[in-house]
Structure 1
Amino acid sequence: MLKKNFVKALGLSLLLASQAQALTLDWSGGYRAEWTEVDRPSLDTPSQRKSYGLNYLYLSPKIIAADGINITSRFDILNSQQYPGSQLGTIWGFDGSTGATDSSATNNNMGAAQVSISQLYLTINQEYGALIVGRAPLDFGVGMAYSSGQGAFDHWYDTRDLIAYKIVFGDWFLMPILTRSASTYEFGQGGSITAMGGLLQYENKENQSLIGVLMESKKGSMGALGYTPSQIAAYGGDAVSSGLSIQSTHFVLGRGFDGFAFKLEAGFLAGETGITRAGDDVGVNGYGIAAEIAFPRPESKWDFTAKFGMATGDDPGTTDFDAYAFDQNYDVAMLMFNHRMGQKDFMNTNVYRPNTTPGGAAAGTMEGADNSADDEYLSNAIYVAPSALYRWNDRFDVRNTLVWAQLMQTQKNSVDSSKDLGLEWDIELIYRPSDRIQWVNQVGLLFPGEAWKNGNDDFGNGFNFGFASKAAISF
């Protein structure tokens, strides 16, 4: 009996070994540690100061099953329990104690880490195209609308369960896409949010040219929407009475020259949210523009860039929700449009916060400024952000960024309401001991404008500053 079991085990080992030789496993990943402090998120008294650290690791193994057939996955380790579905990481000191069987005062370890799988998809490459099936990342343009979170310090990512086929012809490619972002009825029909769209893009790296258009039509049944009461109130509605139907269109244009380069992305939303107000449908009707310019000077120690653009805000005089929000990974400043601030929802972004306390969103208040990460969106604003980087030596860079912004729509329809959001000055010291390691120390100084007072409400608009020290390693 022992001999038979040994023969079986030997045969299984040989079979696995032969299969392993036919497969190639390629690993990549990254580690990130951060510390962030923001002195006065409320811009008033009390200051609601916050201070926190983050710890995060991801591993991305890719199985090369055969020529042109790849299975890509991503494992996120030490995930955020406060922001599930993100790559924020675990807060330093958060031990996960429930209080039922242990306590934070007496436990001797930090508890077990959470591991999640955020990506798993198959790619079949062919001579003139590729088939993509599974839970895959989404990217487009400068990242204004869709970002897969590939940046060293990106805290968010966009993924979908999708089927796509990429058809390549020269420098052009066409990719029809079918995605599903929700399915409440699981195996049955009628409880899903599905989108159909397509991407057409031209890219020539030699002359640094980029042209692309992404169109998507998203539809969802009433039972799959899952709006919270606070989100319904933030949209200005009072009930969910129908399904969702939203069309989005995004364009990108880019060109590079010896001493100048630019990229421009524009996005447009239109359709119905499924929410009603006094029986009238609450639709969406917003747009945004993000432009980036650079003046490359390889022979100089100086490098100049700038970001500028705008995103529409909600007009309280209309039934539709008119605000457009950029992707959370698209950062213009360290504090402004990155951390929640002030006493009101000036950016019209409570609609994206399902955990906002019911009732607060209806009043348009800003909640959780003292107990939130950098989860704000760029919305309802116009901004200009020039930046100058000085290459101190082979390892140290210093970057200074000045940001000016103002609201597109005030929160209060009165003559004393201002649109001036103020100025922010960000200073960064960047240390790169190698191509795969970087350590960034950042200081943000915010000089708030009169918009934060909200007219005769006379809210505080006191000076605010923040500090961040963060390190990232990629492999």
Structure 2
Amino acid sequence: MLKAHFLKVLGLSIVLTSTAAQAMSLDWSGGYRAEWVEVDKPSLTNPTERKAYGLNYLYLTPKIIAADGINIISRFDVFNSEMYPGSQLGTIWGMNTSDVAATSGNQGPATVSASQLYLSVNQEFGSLKVGRMPFDFGLGMLYSGGNGSFDHWYNTRDMVSYKVIVGDWSLTPMLGRMYANDFGQGNNQTFWGAQLQYENIEAKSLMGVYVEQKKGARTTLNYSDAQKAAYCAGATPCDVAGDMSINTTSFVIGRGWDAFGYKFEGAFQSGETGIRRGTEDVKMDGFGLAAELYFPARESKWDYSFKLGMATGDSDSTNFSGFAFNKNYDVAMLMFNHRLGGADLFNTNAVKPRYPSDQTQPDQLSVGNSADDESVGNAYYLAPTVNYTINERFNLRNTLIYAQLMNAVPNSVDAKKDLGLEWDIEVVYKPIERVQWVNQLGLLFPGEAWKNGTGTTGNKGNDFTFGFASKAAISF
């Protein structure tokens, strides 16, 4: 009798399991990345503050197919960076979290975190998304979801969005929260946005616009000391004294042909920062532009591309007119990518990460011990690239980058704007699909701007420096 009952339960379990398996499945994707980076003299003078570090990182993206058109998507980041929480930089090679590193038998555990979790409901004419999801737009100049093989940063949003699709057009209104202190109402940062986009893949045409308004209560504006100092241009007193309300308008256009293609993105920011300098409220008023031109190889082994762009700097005595690109948008291996020199020439202290986040402790990130956390700001740049396809597995790429400051720092008659010239050499090896190994050599010939003028505030150094990087990525 007991045996018969057991067989019935077992049979029912198999039936239910089989039914559930037919109704729901799990699809995995992800990627692994390992890197080694060296920068000889990021200080551009003595002491050199030389950097040499490795990174190790894995991400996994499971997608639960709950029903036809209904998916639950998440992302797990394995070996997160303790110094850059909320990034996909990875853990430093040799990082040891053991209590006594000198006598420990292992490296100690690294962290695993979930950076995304959202519901996606796909319908015939649109899709609904709810949860914490990646967000990007255009070239990734301002918003980047971190989808590149070697992207170290990402933008995510807790939001509700609905994408309406009509032919090649789409309209996506969205509403969400950027920050919340607790379960109560009022102590949070909210945003609303809308994206209108036209994209025709066959015609290689792209046109889009994104508008956003972000608001934050005074109690949620946890600016770091360095950020407040950047917004106030060093003036005191400088502190949070009001609510934040910032408007952003971005647009992108692009077109491609067999022999030529281009993409162009611009973004404009304005509004209230919530910071008060002396007796005046600091307003935001800056913009950035980025263009990319492409000349495909076609039947030749040579192809060419060209990047150019600019970002405003802080030149206003009352408002903050600086603008910073997304940290994923790399123009050069060294310039606008790693912190260099001895001054905030790019006005990017307003957005640079801080470690630890505890304001009572000194910031441990500096020129000599930070990762690639610099951004394009207060400058314009020109970056032509020549790529030679050696064979189906090897590519040789050369890029020359020239840049100048928009506003000399400090704003004095003897301060210079020339940032100099950088030459980047890359060898890209792709043994099989979804696997690539990139070796980079960057040679930087700094201009006079790095000296930051003369006198007591100048002569910070503009010595030649170089960098090397070897990095491999596998996607699956």
Tell me the TM-score normalised to structure 2 length: 0.94
Aligned partners of 2:443 and 2:416: how far apart in 1?
21
Which residue does 1:219 correspond to in 2? 215
Kept in 2: contact 1:260–1:293 (CA 8 A): yes
Please say if 1:323 is aligned against 2:319: no
Cα deviation for residue 356 of structure 1 reads 7.0
Please say if 1:202 is aligned against 2:198: yes
| Aligned pairs (5 A) from 1:97-246 | 97=98, 102-184=99-181, 186-236=182-232, 238-246=238-246
Aligned partners of 2:431 and 2:365: how far apart in 1?
40
Cα deviation for residue 21 of structure 1 reads 2.2
Partner amino acid, structure 1, of 2:207: I
The number of residues matched between the two structures is 464
Which residue does 2:464 correspond to in 1? 463
Aligned partners of 1:12 and 1:318: how far apart in 2?
73
Aligned partners of 1:344 and 1:262: how far apart in 2?
34
Kept in 1: contact 2:435–2:472 (CA 8 A): yes
Partner amino acid, structure 2, of 1:22: A
Please say if 1:332 is aligned against 2:331: yes
Relative to structure 1, the CA distance from residue 366 to residue 378 in structure 2 (aligned partners, 3 Å threshold; closer, same or farther) is farther
Aligned partners of 2:107 and 2:33: how far apart in 1?
18
Relative to structure 1, the CA distance from residue 357 to residue 20 in structure 2 (aligned partners, 3 Å threshold; closer, same or farther) is closer
Which residue does 1:48 correspond to in 2? 49
Which residue does 1:431 correspond to in 2? 429
Partner amino acid, structure 2, of 1:414: S
Partner amino acid, structure 2, of 1:179: G
Which residue does 1:388 correspond to in 2? 386
Partner amino acid, structure 1, of 2:131: G
Partner amino acid, structure 2, of 1:27: W
Which residue does 2:254 correspond to in 1? 254
Which residue does 1:373 correspond to in 2? 371
Cα deviation for residue 230 of structure 1 reads 2.5
Aligned partners of 1:218 and 1:301: how far apart in 2?
47
Which residue does 2:266 correspond to in 1? 266
Partner amino acid, structure 2, of 1:87: Q
Kept in 2: contact 1:345–1:366 (CA 8 A): no
Q: Secondary structure, in 3 states, of the residue corresponding to 1:393?
A: coil
Which residue does 1:292 correspond to in 2? 292
Aligned partners of 2:450 and 2:10: how far apart in 1?
71
Which residue does 1:401 correspond to in 2? 399
Deviations 1:159-188 (A, max 9, x none): 00010000111100000011211001x211
Aligned partners of 1:41 and 1:356: how far apart in 2?
19
Cα deviation for residue 380 of structure 1 reads 0.7
Cα deviation for residue 26 of structure 1 reads 1.0
Aligned partners of 2:369 and 2:323: how far apart in 1?
25
Aligned partners of 1:446 and 1:85: how far apart in 2?
30
Aligned partners of 2:190 and 2:200: how far apart in 1?
32
Aligned partners of 1:2 and 1:386: how far apart in 2?
79
Kept in 2: contact 1:41–1:342 (CA 8 A): yes
Which residue does 1:92 correspond to in 2? 93
Aligned partners of 1:142 and 1:66: how far apart in 2?
33
Match of 1:421 among 419, 422, 446: 419
Which residue does 1:31 correspond to in 2? 32
Kept in 2: contact 1:75–1:116 (CA 8 A): yes
Aligned partners of 2:423 and 2:144: how far apart in 1?
25
- Runs of 4 or more, structure 1, over 3 Å off, are 1-14
Cα deviation for residue 289 of structure 1 reads 0.2
Aligned partners of 1:280 and 1:314: how far apart in 2?
16
Q: Give the RMSD, CA atoms, in angstroms.
A: 2.0
Cα deviation for residue 142 of structure 1 reads 0.5
Partner amino acid, structure 2, of 1:232: K
Deviations 1:221-246 (A, max 9, x none): 01111112232122116111111000
Aligned partners of 2:47 and 2:195: how far apart in 1?
48
Aligned partners of 2:112 and 2:10: how far apart in 1?
31
Aligned partners of 2:51 and 2:438: how far apart in 1?
20
Partner amino acid, structure 1, of 2:90: G
Aligned partners of 1:126 and 1:37: how far apart in 2?
49
Cα deviation for residue 17 of structure 1 reads 3.8
Kept in 2: contact 1:230–1:354 (CA 8 A): no
Tell me the TM-score normalised to structure 1 length: 0.94
Kept in 1: contact 2:352–2:374 (CA 8 A): no
Cα deviation for residue 10 of structure 1 reads 6.5
Consecutive unaligned residues of structure 1, counting only runs of 5 or more, are none
Cα deviation for residue 9 of structure 1 reads 7.1
Cα deviation for residue 2 of structure 1 reads 8.3
Relative to structure 1, the CA distance from residue 235 to residue 197 in structure 2 (aligned partners, 3 Å threshold; closer, same or farther) is same
Relative to structure 1, the CA distance from residue 380 to residue 356 in structure 2 (aligned partners, 3 Å threshold; closer, same or farther) is farther
Aligned partners of 1:356 and 1:30: how far apart in 2?
27
Deviations 1:350-401 (A, max 9, x none): 112352799x9xxxx9960111000101111100000000000111000000
Which residue does 1:445 correspond to in 2? 443
Cα deviation for residue 57 of structure 1 reads 0.4
Kept in 1: contact 2:169–2:199 (CA 8 A): yes
Partner amino acid, structure 2, of 1:202: Y
Which residue does 1:344 correspond to in 2? 343
Aligned partners of 1:18 and 1:103: how far apart in 2?
52
Partner amino acid, structure 1, of 2:144: S
Relative to structure 1, the CA distance from residue 241 to residue 59 in structure 2 (aligned partners, 3 Å threshold; closer, same or farther) is same
Q: Secondary structure, in 3 states, of the residue corresponding to 1:390?
A: strand
Aligned partners of 2:267 and 2:342: how far apart in 1?
29
Aligned partners of 2:148 and 2:15: how far apart in 1?
42
Deviations 1:390-423 (A, max 9, x none): 0001110000000000001111122211100000
